[in-house]
Structures are given as structure tokens and as C-alpha cells.
Structure 1
Amino acid sequence: MAATSDGAASTRRADGVRYLRLLGLAALVGIPISVAAFAFLALLHWLTAFVWEDLPEAWGLEPVPWWWPFPWLLIGGALVAVAISRLPGHGGHVPIDGLSAEPVPPSHLPGVLLAALGGLPLGVVLGPEAPLMAVGAALATILTSRWIARKSPENALLDASGSAAAVAVIFGSPLVAAVFILESASRSGLRSTKVVLPCLLSAGIGALVFTGLGTWTGLPVISLELPGLGAQTRLDAADLLWTVPFAAAIALGVNVIHRIGRRLLPHAKRRPALMAMAAVTVTAVAAALYALLTDRSPVEVLLSGQDALATFTGTGEALGTGALVAILAFKGLAYGVSLATLRGGPIFPAVFLGAAAGTLVSGLPGFGLLPAMAAGMAAATAAILPLPVSAALLITLLLGTDSAAMTPIVLIAVVVAFMTERLTERTGDADAAAPIRD
């Protein structure tokens, strides 16, 4: 009996030593991964500004004309098509499947980078979070290959911590990044009790590196933020009552977007290059129609939308009712086709569309702008991803000083949207699984 007890204690000590070693490696690899992620985001920001701001200004094309997205999106589609059809890893994770915390082989890294840097700054309606997670995971494997065996449980933990370090700032808080990785990892089979400390440590280190590099270089860091919110200290009963049907309606709208993607997914698997080009063509047409119908910039339909949230908070040029309806229709369509055929992250466009929908319904009796936007963003995020805790935390922190007052709205919207999406999921999957004839 004593021998058995001593053996168990020895095993626990050995496990503790191995885990401390993993924490040390997570801290060490978090630094170079954060530097690489910062460089990736800085390049992405520069390319985006060059294509959609600097070039039109230099060529006297202000405001951006309706036809401007066509050449850039076609170039971006061709680059994404090469990454998907020619390079290992097919350009990375398919965004319609949500976020993935699974290990990424280093051989997939060139395809991930080409698909992200070739598509995202040239107008693809997706965000940078999924490519960043893949970059962090692949770099973690490369940096620890001397000490950790490939495809081992320790490798999976370090890959998850590398993803956390890479996305430490873009969600507005390293805590949000860590929770997203943790919730994604638990769905991939990793034990959250094992991965929590490496992810928190790497995310914290990543945030410090991002902040230091941003201050030193003066380069902006792409981060999800909602500027210009006015303080609202209390909720009315009407705000809470409107939140339930509105969140359900948002989830149904997201379900329509998902169905578009699911219908296209079998074609995208069979003809990835052709479908990538078709998707960017649809996106360009949607942006052009929006510009012609509303006399506004086609760029509002393009990109992830994270830099355009100020439009809804009074710090940008306000959108009228017609423009809001148009942007929901056209950006929603571009988002739906992009989810199945292109590469990027699904979160930021969902937040933008939720904010747009909230602004649209804020004229309902008793439904304030801030509660409506909070409900819309929370519902859209919870519906697009099966990660309710991450969605609630992201939107709560996004609201800044208004988060305490808006927390009930956010939580109700997340639960209603999550359950509505789950209830409609089977029907959507059944429809998507129906035979498709070319």
C-alpha cells in the first residue's frame, strides 16, 4: 500500500515538473510569436490603407468609385485560390466551421499567410483572427520542436498558447483572447484545466509585446473597439423586452447566412479556385450595387468592418435607414459566400452586422441605440460561433464604460441567439446536406 502511495506521489511530482516546463516554454514562445503577429497585423493594416485610402487619394478618386473593388478583389481572389488549391493546408481553416484551436503543421504556414495577406486587405469580408491563430500555432510547433514531440498532448497545449499570444490584442483584451482559445480548445478535445494557464500566460505576454511594439514603432494595432459611446447608466423595461425577439431575429438572419455558405461548401471543396473567384466577384458586385444605390463608399460593404464601427456611434458619417438595410443585405451576402469559399475569421463581420442591425431597430418604441447595438452584436457573435461565454465576454468588454449597465442585455441576447441557432441548426444542416446537382 505504501509503495503504491509513493508511486502515485512520484507520478504527480513528475507531472507537475512537466507542466511547469510547459508553462516556461509557453512564456518563452509567446514573445517571438507576438512579434510575428504584430508584424502580420502591421502589414495587413498598411496594405488595407494603401489600397482603399492612399491609392484613391493619390489618383484623385475620392470618394472611392463604385468600380474600384473589382480589380482588387479579383487579384485577392486569385491569390486565395492559389493558396487553397496549390499549397499545403488549403490556405487554413474554413471560416464557416468557426474558430479552430487544433495544431497547425508548419508546412501549412505559407498557404495561411498567402490566403490572409492576399485576400483580407483587398476586400474579403472576413477578419484576421483565424489566420493569426494558425500563425501562432504553427510558430509554436516550430519553436518547440526540439523539446516537444509533434502530435503530442504537450504540442497541442503549446499550439493553443501560441494562438492566444497571437490574438492577444485584436479582441480588445488579452483576457478575451485567452477565453476564446480556451473555449475553442475545449471543443477540440483539450482539457481546459491543462490549457488555461499556458493560454492566460501567453495572452498576457502577447498583450505586453503588442503594447510595447506599438509604442516603440508608432504603428497602429488592429483591435476591435467601439469608440464614441455615450454613457447609459440604466436599462428600461422596453430594452429588455425588445432584446428577446431581436436576438432571435438576429440568429435567424445568421442562419440564412450560414445556409448560403453551407450550400456553397460542397462546390468549394470540388472546385476551390473557381469558387474563390466567384465569391470575390459576388462581393465586388454587392459593393458596387451598394455604392450606386446609396451614393456611399463601396468600402462599407468590404473588409471585416472592425474599423467602421464608429459609423454607428455618432463619430462617423451616420447611415440612414435605406443605407442600413442595404448594408445588411449586401454585406451579409458577401459574408455568406466568403465563409465557405475564402479564408479568414468569422467574428468581426458578425459584430459589424449586429451593430448595423441594432442601429436599424433602435427607432423602435423604448429601444435605445446602445442597448440595441449591444443586443445585436452579442446575438450575432453568439450565433456565428458556438462559443457563448466568449461572445458574452467580448461584447461586454467592447462596450467599455457602458458594460456594467449593458451586461443583462448582452447575456440575454447571447442565450437567446445561441439557443435559436441551435434549434434551427438541424434544419439548416439537413438542407445543406441535400444533393447538389451541377
Structure 2
Amino acid sequence: MAVEAPAPTPVPGTPLKTLLPQILPALVVGVGSGLLFLGISGLAEQLQHVLWSTVPDALGIGRYSALWMITMLTATGIAVGLVVWKVYGHAGPDPATSGLGGPPLAAGVVPGLLLASTLSLAGGVSLGPENPTIAAAIALAYWLGRMVTRPGRPAPPGEAWVALATAGTFGALFGTPVAAALVLSEALAVKPPAPGHHPAAGGSLWDRLFAPLVAAGAGSLTTQLVSHPSFDMGLPPLDSPGFGDLLTALVVAPLAALFGLLACYVFPALHRAFGRLRHPMLMLPLGGLVLGLLGVLGGHLTLFKGLAETRELVASADSYGAGELLRLSVVKAVALLVAAASGFRGGRVFPVVFVGAAFGLLAPALVPGVHPAVAVSSAVLGVVLATTRQGWVSLFVAAAVAASPAILALLCLASLPAWLVVTGRPLLELDEDGHALH
């Protein structure tokens, strides 16, 4: 999932004059990104409550009965299919070929993209809000930024608006600017400076990160003030790691990475199978029907984006046996693949967290005495690393899930064997020809 790097900033004689004018645009884009995320998430949650509580209660049907899950997911596929088919811009590009970030879409595509994403989130599709929200924020920031540029003055480069919107939305999604800093620094490390710009050395890296971090801070503060987001899953804290915890992390992370890689290898073939249907009104309703059947197989925990369901799973982990946990992780992974391959609009990181948590809980279920926080965070690290190939994001999400500072050292060490498993392998994203990216 490629992230567009921020535009390299020239290193002039007085860099302060270059950095200070960036603060206001960064604040505006950051706050706007946060409000966009909150608006889409809030609307999706309200619609979800109506579809999964109010309506089935009024009809006297069980909220998560087999009949209602199949009906709702199929209906969601029909609704999203209509948006993709009829709304201007067709709700953006094929989600299987879209990562976190990328070049700006046309502003006219944004309404259809957000509508399709909101319907998917509310309808129980196993996708998150991150990819469409970032894409919409980038498109709007780029469009508005170019519009407000004063005549006669050079417009900021397109990469600048992309960087601000990406950072602001990352800050909003995770409730902290730390994730944005890690992601953008990783992007800068793999993208060489443009001709005529200094490399990121001698402090220039922070010159280039200055405005994106302002946007990330503004976006995260916006969501913190309104909704108090948290990735803390309520796992028991790890106070003092021991050798047993280190062994757990070193074993679970690469095993989870292998599990994630299986999904990455299956994804292109599944995408081609749905692609043979050609029309969104065939692909998406069929995808919705399959998701409904998977929901019947896996239960309500395998529906939706996965964060609330992960907390519920962790809170009741003692009531699940190893076989049930394996079933949950497999069903959720397959549901994610079907949703992304059939054309539903949404992100893949949030549901992957559920997959990692369910897979990680297998360790204490099979080996009593294994610390659940170590097992879950290590598994989340491995699965996110396999599907995104972004090391900093994987470490951040895994550490945030455990909410235990003592576990960070274990995760850093566990990321090394997990990286050896995934490097050079396919990730959960395709190119325009339908081939897996590496």
C-alpha cells in the first residue's frame, strides 16, 4: 500500500521563511481531514444502528440471524453496485489496486467514493474507512488548495497537498500524529529527492516533515476532542517481559506473517474470478451474498470493519477454543478478500487487525501461560506487515493494540523474522493488470 511522500522542501538561506507560511494550510487540511473522517464514521455508525438494530427489531427478526445477515449483505452489495455503476466517477478506481495514499482523484469522484464507503461500512462489509477517507481527503485538499492559490503566485506542488491530506487523515484515523510521522518518514526513505532539492540530511528531513506533522497533529487533535479514538483492545498489561515472552513474539509474528501471506497469494485469483463478471451489478451483489454466507459461518464478530469486534473478542477470549479462534481468523480473512476483490470500497488495515487478534489468541488457547498481549500484538504485527509491507505502520498498530510500552522492544525484535518471511513476497494490493505488487 504505497504512500505518497511529501514534497521535498528546498533548503534556502532562511528556512524559517519557508516553514512558517506552511502552518496555516497544514492546520486547515489537518482539521478538515479529521472532520471528514468523523463525518463519514459518524454517518456510517448511525446508518449501521438503523440497519442492524432498529429495522430488525421492528420486523421481529434477530439482529444477527442468518436470514438478516444474508439479506443485509446482499442488499448492501446491490446498493454499492448501483453507486459504482451510476454515480459520476464510479466511486473511484478498483479498490484492489488502491493503497493508502496515491495521486489525487478528481474532486467529482469524491461523493460517489464516500457514499460507497459509507454504505459498505454500515452494511457490515469487512473493510475499514482508511483508504477511501485518505483518497477523499487528498482529492479535496488538492482541489481546494489549487483553487485558493492567489493569481500570479506559483501554486504549491501537488505532492504538498497530498502529503498534508495523508498526514492529517492518518492522524485522525489513529488519534495521534505519531503514525503519520512514521509513515511519511518511511515514504521519504524510499523516494529520492527531486532534482534541485537537498537530500533529507542535516535536519532537512524535519523541514520536509514539518507541515505534514502540523496537519497530522491537527487531524489527531480534532478526533481526540470529538470522539476519543483508541486502538487499545483491553489486553492485560505486560509489566516486565521475560524470555518466554520474547520466544512467544519471535514465534507468533512470523507464523502470523505466513498466515497473512496466504491471503496475499489468493487475492489475485479471487480478483480475477470476480472480474470475469465484468459488471458491478453482478460483482457486488454476488460479493455481498458471499459475505452474508461467511457471516453466518463466522458469526457477527466477522462483520464490519473490526475494531469494536476485536475488543469484544478479546474481552470474551476465554470462552473460545482454539478451533473457534482459527475459524474466526480464517472467515474474517476470507471476508476481507471477497470484499476487496468484488469491488466494495474500503480499507484493509482495520479488518486485518481483527485477523491478527484472532490468530494471536490461538497461542494462549493452545499453550497456557502465554501472555495474551504478547501473542495478540505479535500476530497483528505479522499480519499487517504481510498485507501492507509497511514496517512502521505495522509496529505502531501492534503496539497500540497492546497499549503496553514494555512490549515495544519485543515487537521490534519480532519484526525481524517476520520481515524475512514477507520481504519480496506479494502484498494485498494489485497493479492495474491485476498482478500482485511486491
TM-score range, shorter chain: 0.7 to 0.9
SS across alignment from 1:104 = coil
C-alpha separation in 1, matches of 2:90 and 2:407: 41
C-alpha separation in 1, matches of 2:385 and 2:67: 34
Q: Give yes or no for contact 2:75–2:285 (8 Å, CA) kept in 1.
A: no
With CA pairs under 8 Å and 6+ residues apart, which has the higher RCO, 1 or 2? Answer: 2
* CA positional deviation for 1:66: 1.5
C-alpha separation in 2, matches of 1:267 and 1:186: 36
Who is 1:254 aligned against?
260
Residues 33, 169 of structure 1: alpha-carbon distance in 2 compared, 3 angstrom cutoff: closer
C-alpha separation in 1, matches of 2:42 and 2:170: 13
* CA positional deviation for 1:344: 0.8
Are 2:233 and 1:230 equivalent residues in the alignment? no
Greater Cα shift, 62-71 or 112-121: 62-71
Residues 11, 186 of structure 1: alpha-carbon distance in 2 compared, 3 angstrom cutoff: closer
Residues 138, 245 of structure 1: alpha-carbon distance in 2 compared, 3 angstrom cutoff: same
- The one of 182, 187, 211 aligned to 1:179: 182
Q: Give yes or no for contact 1:98–1:384 (8 Å, CA) kept in 2.
A: no
Q: TM-score, normalised by structure 1?
A: 0.82
Query: Identity percentage over the alignment?
Result: 23
* CA positional deviation for 1:16: 6.3
C-alpha separation in 2, matches of 1:85 and 1:172: 34
Who is 1:376 aligned against?
379
Who is 1:201 aligned against?
214
Greater Cα shift, 383-392 or 36-45: 36-45
- The one of 386, 390, 408 aligned to 2:393: 390
Q: Give yes or no for contact 2:30–2:219 (8 Å, CA) kept in 1.
A: yes
Residues 248, 421 of structure 1: alpha-carbon distance in 2 compared, 3 angstrom cutoff: same
Across the two proteins, how many residue pairs are aligned to each other?
A: 406
Are 2:246 and 1:240 equivalent residues in the alignment? yes
- The one of 151, 156, 159 aligned to 1:156: 159
C-alpha separation in 2, matches of 1:384 and 1:106: 29
Greater Cα shift, 47-56 or 368-377: 47-56
Per-residue CA distance 1:47-101 (angstroms, 9 max, x = gap): 2222223333444444621121222212221233234444426435625654224
C-alpha separation in 1, matches of 2:71 and 2:62: 17
Greater Cα shift, 54-63 or 369-378: 54-63
* CA positional deviation for 1:384: 1.2
Question: Which segments of 5 or more consecutive residues in structure 2 lack a partner in the other structure?
Answer: 1-9, 195-199
Who is 1:265 aligned against?
271
C-alpha separation in 2, matches of 1:433 and 1:116: 24
Who is 2:24 aligned against?
24
C-alpha separation in 2, matches of 1:303 and 1:32: 25
Who is 2:39 aligned against?
39
SS across alignment from 1:126 = coil
Q: Give yes or no for contact 1:312–1:318 (8 Å, CA) kept in 2.
A: no
Q: Give yes or no for contact 2:19–2:210 (8 Å, CA) kept in 1.
A: no
Per-residue CA distance 1:298-331 (angstroms, 9 max, x = gap): 3211111111122343368843333212212211
Who is 2:325 aligned against?
324
C-alpha separation in 2, matches of 1:252 and 1:98: 21
Greater Cα shift, 74-83 or 117-126: 74-83
Question: Which segments of 5 or more consecutive residues in structure 1 lack a partner in the other structure?
Answer: 1-9, 215-219, 291-297
Greater Cα shift, 73-82 or 279-288: 73-82
State how 1:31-70 maps to structure 2 within 5 Å: 31-62=31-62, 64-70=64-70
Q: Which amino acid aligns with 2:397?
A: L
Who is 2:118 aligned against?
117
Greater Cα shift, 367-376 or 163-172: 163-172
Residues 63, 34 of structure 1: alpha-carbon distance in 2 compared, 3 angstrom cutoff: closer
Q: Give yes or no for contact 1:157–1:195 (8 Å, CA) kept in 2.
A: no
Per-residue CA distance 1:256-297 (angstroms, 9 max, x = gap): 21222211333555625133233222111111123xxxxxxx
Q: TM-score, normalised by structure 2?
A: 0.82
Q: Which amino acid aligns with 2:291?
A: T
Who is 2:335 aligned against?
334
Return structure 1 stretches of 4+ with deviation > 6 angstroms.
188-192
Who is 2:289 aligned against?
281
Residues 184, 287 of structure 1: alpha-carbon distance in 2 compared, 3 angstrom cutoff: farther
Q: Give yes or no for contact 1:101–1:185 (8 Å, CA) kept in 2.
A: no
State how 1:297-376 maps to structure 2 within 5 Å: 298-314=299-315, 318-341=319-342, 342-362=344-364, 363-364=366-367, 366-376=369-379
CA RMSD in angstroms comes to 3.3
SS across alignment from 2:66 = coil
C-alpha separation in 2, matches of 1:189 and 1:68: 52
C-alpha separation in 2, matches of 1:31 and 1:54: 33
